[in-house]
Amino acid sequence: MHPDSPSSRLPAPGRRAVLGAAAASSALAALPGTASAAPDARKTPSRRKPRALPGGGDLGPNVLVFAPATPNIQGRLDEIFRQQESAQFGTGRYQLLFKPGTYHGLNAQIGFYTSISGLGLSPDDTTINGDITVDAGWFNGNATQNFWRSAENLAVVPVNGTNRWAVSQAAPFRRMHIRGNLNLAPTGYGWSSGGYIADSRIDGQVQPYSQQQWYTRDSAIGGWLNGVWNMVFSGVEGAPAQGFPNPPYTTLATTPVSREKPFLYLGGSEYRVFLPEKRTNARGVTWGNGTPRGTSLPLSRFYVAKPGVSAATLNQALAEGLHLLLTPGIYHLDRPVRVDRAGTVVLGLGYATLIPDNGVTALKVADVDGVRLAGFLVDAGPVNSATLLEIGPRGASRDHSANPTTVQDVFVRIGGAGPGKATTSMVVNSRHTIVDHTWVWRADHGDGVGWETNRADYGVVVNGHDVLATGLFVEHFNKYDVQWFGERGRTIFYQNEKAYDAPNQAAIQNGPVKGYAAYRVGDDVTAHEGWGLGSYCYYNVDPGIVQHHGFAAPNRPGVRFHDLLVVSLGGNGQYERVINDTGSPTSGTSTVPSTVVSYP
């Protein structure tokens, strides 16, 4: 970073030290060892079956449930925020749940690993006259590290007419109704690098200000103020017109396929999990016109997992036909969690975190219909895992078009909270999988960070056909960030930074090519399409590194890209081209994107 940059005076390592500078100026998540009876010559050997696990039960101490009559709600919210405000790599995990009703005079400030949600079937069932706030006072007004938090299924009437949600990656805003404006920048309009909105209605104007990029899906907005580098909309009523690169809007009238994230709600006095139905050519919110479409499951159908439970117990619950509800906390795994049954739901609350301790894959999904993974974090362990998350086994080929697997708000991290390694973070083998908002991140700051210390060569690898990614954030991998080998893949919105910490040009040399592409489509692929994709470089160890291109793909008519950009952040490294050998080079320290509107 430049020594005179504001980030050089920040209290923590300068992540994205130059990322927001241009923006600010221009825009201003085998069964247990069953004992067997000792063989006896006089008796037939027998095995005791493990006792069936119960469904339902208490949600644990880190799920806080409020009703309008609950005393001192503000005091409890403030207590949690004080603990979580700057605990970027801490162990605290919290879910804040609000029963249907109306709440007055609240300001819920949301810190790290904190999720706030309403318990109605519609956001309008739970109204907060007040604010749900994310700001960046803890980081001197820089919001580029406001990760791992969420808001869902609430209506908010902001005190001054505008609610502030100044976030960056892994901070989804889902199924929200803002009866006013939504400001996405921190106080003082400091840097910010988000973000994601889905199934939400903002009655007033969305005000990104310094946000470099943002993806909004299947929502309704009253207006959109500005854009910096890459603002993408699909299925959004009120979205600005297509204009990339100036203004930098990529606008699709509909989202090809979507299915909203499962969510916890109260049916009478009982907890249930709602499973929204799949939509094709989706546009606008799923709620607001009567009961939302979908089905629901009682909590008794879920094994309510608590931190400290073993992978063997989680697998036993799944084998018994239960779904998994992961309550807030950290789960250490000595073997993969195996999801083998069609329609299984694995839902995390409060950024429940899975850590493979001995190089295993944290979670594996079979080649079955309709699995829903949502709302948890996978944190690499210190022993290298070949993969951290596997959607379908190698060679999966079944048609899941009628009932796809969805991966939503499932975040992957290698390093930062401590040493972690993984050769490949997420592998998608199952056909028709929808990856709807993920951040797959090789840490560039925190503990256990270094070119070899948190080695992770590949971020996301897609082998399955007909996979759709809506809101794909993948950053800092040692080699390729995304590799896509399946046919007919589609990505709507992609955000990437190349690894900051490459020691020199030789460390990233890819045969005759300078550097590994941020997003590579396999040489044999005949059909692929992407909209609104951006890659940034900030080679701060060796600013002289040259990256040939951000994107690599076979040059054939069926492989198409729309609205691509590459940016050199402050001149720390440069791109020679945007995609393959097409596009102008970046140059100097101006942090101005080089763009390609259509390829080929």
SS3 content of the chain, % helix, strand, coil (to 5): 5, 40, 50
As a whole number of angstroms, the distance between CA 123 and CA 198 comes to 13
315, HSE (Cβ side, Cα atoms, 13 Å): 17
303, HSE (Cβ side, Cα atoms, 13 Å): 24
Let me know: does 357 contact 333? Beta carbons within 8 Å.
yes
If one counts every other C-beta atom within 10 angstroms of the C-beta of residue 262, the result is 24
Residues paired with residue 458 on neighbouring β-strands, in sequence order: 424
If one counts every other C-beta atom within 10 angstroms of the C-beta of residue 419, the result is 17
Active-site residue (options: 79, 452, 497, 529): 497
If one counts every other C-beta atom within 10 angstroms of the C-beta of residue 458, the result is 24
Among 581, 441, 563, 422, residue whose Cα is nearest residue 491? 563
As a whole number of angstroms, the distance between CA 140 and CA 163 comes to 20
Tokens 């995990």 correspond to what residue?
93
Q: How many residues does the chain have?
A: 600
Cα torsion 266, 69, 73, 59: sign: negative
If one counts every other C-beta atom within 10 angstroms of the C-beta of residue 102, the result is 12
DSSP 249: E
Let me know: does 302 contact 262? Beta carbons within 8 Å.
no
Let me know: does 588 contact 571? Beta carbons within 8 Å.
yes
The secondary structure of 250-307 as a DSSP string is EEESSEEEEEPPPEEEEETTEEEEEEEPEEEEE-S-S-SSSSPSEEEEEGGGEEEE-T
Residue 395 gets the label, from left (phi > 0), alpha (psi -120 to 50) or beta, of: left
Pairing of strands 337-339, 101-109: unpaired
Catalytic residue flag (residue 497):
yes
Q: Which residues are catalytic?
A: 497
